[in-house]
A and B are shown apart, each in its own frame.
Chain A
């Protein structure tokens, strides 16, 4: 091992760290820009206004369509309400979300990054505010270079003020998902809201303002793990925003390339106008190929198509394509597009499977429930008349927001056996009517007596039955009746 190591570069400490070069994306018009605006409008519209949507669930229940109610331990999504013991649905949703991400990637690369990711959407919105106040790319660069004047100060202050307002609204909308939105809005305005609400608004105002306003593409390049994972998951058939080098190269300015054509030399369609680079929100040159910084938003496609149309060349010099197809065209072979391939089938199957499983469990869930724990010490008690008694701890659950009277009984015991619940009388049919409050569980102690004079085997099976006489719903739990070994 060499030990006489001397640094040959970076004697200046500062240069171990690089200031991020500020990106000034130019605005652009086109197909993908329109798609991005539409997605922005829909996603932010949902985010900001959804808490105000009402959904009538009847008395005793909140009428907010989407509400995560920590106090009452329920989450409401329109017609659905999720109980705390069903947190596994979140696991299911997260698994589905990640597989959906893989599927998107297998079909068209970083669709999530380019169109749907909150970081992208909010950055887009913040950029729009910036260009609205400070002007186009050139004007913004000039403004940043210009000395501080009253007008520059006014523009910058206005921009940061609007950014902060949007950020504050973002945090404000977040907390509305956790309490009745109209009430909370009034409480927030009058200073009556809980401290946690203000703290959360503060946190989200800060993160939105700093991430969408200042960090922007740095979040994608340095903070987000997905670009690394995405690069490992991609394959040769996944469509990506691709510069079709086969058509573009050799690049050259419009006039230069025309001269080359006249001279009988090869000339590509790329006129080296840098429009693709100027509109890029992460500041990369797509002509260098797929790269980690590229979020594949398609804006360079729009920019290039505009230029191609202007110079009378066909569009699609930059397009959703694969590197393989670029090579194939260079070799004179036709391009291949394969959307249906093992990985897309597998991803789609996993998504369908998990959704089916979740749907099934949702549709078959019980609105009243029972759990039974047999006494462990003692397993059985011999009574004075030599009959056997077993004790059980029961918990009866009522998952509806109204008081329910549920009928508890047992089966599987010999004729003459008795079933008793401490504190509640047993009726003539051997059933115990248990009243359970709205959204409550009730712990009960149950006793089962074998008939006098009947020899019980050391273990016999018995079934606890919980019936809801109103809905007809029945839950059964299998347990055991223990007796001394013969």
Chain B
């Protein structure tokens, strides 16, 4: 195209490229050359990058690059570093008593964080994310404890569980007064009516309260205590508390006296280890109900 002639735009005095769209002509304001060279430099850099860094996808893998960098390996390394950093405080936690943990700000903070995370992972499915429990799964927020609410009691329960397969497990069993015919149907209803009065529930005046009290003293008081406050050594719940594991109604009491239900909590010590169990005990205790 040797026969081209330069066309100059009248308004700007700038040469046009000759490209025209609907009467508009493109002006040729040339870019500085260094701009072009920077573009070439970026192309050259991309080649360097391909060589050093993971870049090209292959059928089953990818080119890993000379530096061997991968986000996965960085994440793994950071995870290991975090574990190492935690190990030291974890060791201090192991050596400290539960009371010491609660009274040492640094250990308490660590235990609360560690325990909170462990609770969400392991305990929340039954006891709820807020530790408020469900029917059959005790509320850990209130101050009513079946097996005791001191730090040591809580740690013991978490470690070995309740009616679990662990040798050290806590075991408590209520007799099936109705099913095993230790009491007849009328007696069950009478004693249940009395228990309802202990719990502060509405009672049925057609049942004899004195007879109920007598039946209670004979059959129940040995575990649940004379006034119904229970006995934590045996895992006998406090019947006067507003918070019950099972149905808190006369019908619920009748059902329980007839054929008691026994919930099971697994032993955690072998799964979680002592550090985490200690953290969990401190966490659960600090929810507010701890004694």
A binds B: yes
Cβ of B274 within 8 Å of any chain A Cβ, yes or no, is: no
- The answer to whether A423 and B28 touch (CB under 8 A), given A1-B21, A382-B142, is no
CB nearest neighbor in A for B25: A8
CB distance from B138 to the nearest CB of A (A): 13
| Interface: A152 (CB within 8 A) | no
A-side interface mostly: loop
A2, B243: Cβ atoms under 8 Å? Answer: no
Closest beta carbon of chain B to A482's beta carbon, Å: 13
Residues from 424 to 446 in A contacting B, C-beta threshold 8 Å:
435, 442-443, 445
Say which size band chain B's interface belongs to. 35 or more
What is the bound-complex CA distance between A442 and B102, given in angstroms?
A: 14
Are the CB atoms of A391 and B288 closer together than 8 Å? yes
Q: When chains A and B are docked, how far (Å) is the Cα of A7 from the Cα of B287?
A: 80
Is A337 among interface residues, defined by CB-CB distance under 8 A?
no
State whether A20 and B34 are in contact (beta carbons under 8 Å apart), knowing that A9-B18, A375-B130, A381-B141 are contacts in the complex. yes
Known: A381-B289, A389-B288. A7 touches B129 (CB 8 A): no
- Bound together, the chains give a CA A17 to CA B31 distance in angstroms of 5
B68 at the interface (CB under 8 A from A): no
Q: Is the CB of A8 within 8 A of B33?
A: no
By beta carbon, the residue of chain A nearest B31 is A17
Interface segment, one of B81-89, B103-111, B154-162:
B103-111
Whether B130 contacts A422 by the Cβ 8 Å rule is no
A456 to B16, CA, bound (A): 84
Measured between beta carbons, the chain B residues less than 8 angstroms from A222 are 32, 35
Does A6 make an interface contact (CB < 8 A)?
A: yes
CA distance A442 to B142 in the complex (A): 25
Most buried by B among A1, A15, A383, A423: A423
**A 381-409 to B, binary, CB cutoff 8 A, 1 in contact else 0:** 11110100101000000000000000000
Q: Is the CB of A376 within 8 A of B130?
A: yes
A384–B142 CB distance below 8 A: yes
Partner of A5, one of B7, B20, B102: B20
A110-165 at interface with B (beta carbon < 8 Å)? none
Does chain B have a CB within 8 A of A218? Answer: yes
CB-based contact B242/A17 at 8 Å = no
Given A1-B21, A378-B141, A384-B143 in contact, is the A18-B31 Cβ separation under 8 Å? yes
- The answer to whether A85 has its CB under 8 Å from any CB of chain B is no
CB <8 Å contact, A377 and B129: yes
Q: Which residues of A contact B153 (CB under 8 A)?
A: none
> What's the least CB distance linking A247 to chain B, in Å?
26
Chain A residues, Cβ within 8 Å of B130: 375-378
Q: Which residue of B lies closest to A442 (CB)?
A: B105
Partner of B142, one of A6, A377, A383: A383
A9 touches B33 (CB 8 A): no
Interface residues of A in 8-44 (CB under 8 A from B): 8-11, 15-20
Contact partners of A10 in chain B: CB under 8 A: 17, 28
The complex places the Cα of A218 from the Cα of B130 at a distance, in Å, of 63
The chain B residue with its CB closest to the CB of A8 is B18
- CB contact between A17 and one of B22, B35, B109 (< 8 Å): that residue: B35
Contact B241 A8 (CB under 8 A): no
B6 an interface residue at 8 Å Cβ cutoff?
Answer: yes
How distant is the Cα of A17 from the Cα of B242 in the complex, in angstroms?
86
Instruction: Give A445 to B287 CA distance when docked, in angstroms.
Output: 8
Whether B141 and A9, one on each chain, are in contact in the complex, defined by CB atoms closer than 8 angstroms, is: no
* Residues A11 and B30 in contact in the complex (CB < 8 Å), given A17-B35, A375-B130, A384-B241: no
Contact of A15 with B30 in the complex, beta carbons under 8 Å: yes
Inter-chain CA distance A383–B291, complex, in Å, is: 12
A196-224 interface code vs B (CB 8 A; 1 in, 0 out): 00000000000000000001001000100
Asked if A9 and B28 make an inter-chain contact with CB atoms under 8 angstroms apart, the answer reads yes
**Separation in Å of the B198 CB from the closest CB of chain A?**
13
Chain A residues contacting B287 (CB-CB under 8 Å) are 391
- Chain B interface residues toward A at CB < 8 A: 1-2, 4-7, 15-22, 28, 30-36, 102-105, 108-109, 112, 128-130, 132, 139, 141-144, 238, 240-243, 286-289
Residues of A participating in the B interface, judged by any CB pair closer than 8 Å:
1-2, 5-11, 15-20, 215, 218, 222, 375-378, 381-384, 386, 389, 391, 422-423, 435, 442-443, 445, 447
Given A8-B6, A422-B286, 11 additional A-B pairs, CB 8 A: A1-B21, A20-B32, A218-B34, A382-B142, A382-B242, A383-B143, A383-B289, A391-B287, A422-B108, A443-B112, A445-B112
**A–B complex contacts, Cβ < 8 Å, 19 sampled:** A1-B21, A2-B20, A7-B17, A7-B19, A8-B6, A8-B16, A17-B30, A222-B32, A377-B130, A381-B288, A382-B242, A383-B142, A383-B289, A384-B238, A386-B242, A391-B141, A391-B287, A422-B108, A423-B103
Top 9 closest pairs, chain A to chain B, by CB: A377-B130, A8-B18, A18-B30, A7-B18, A422-B286, A381-B141, A17-B33, A423-B108, A423-B102
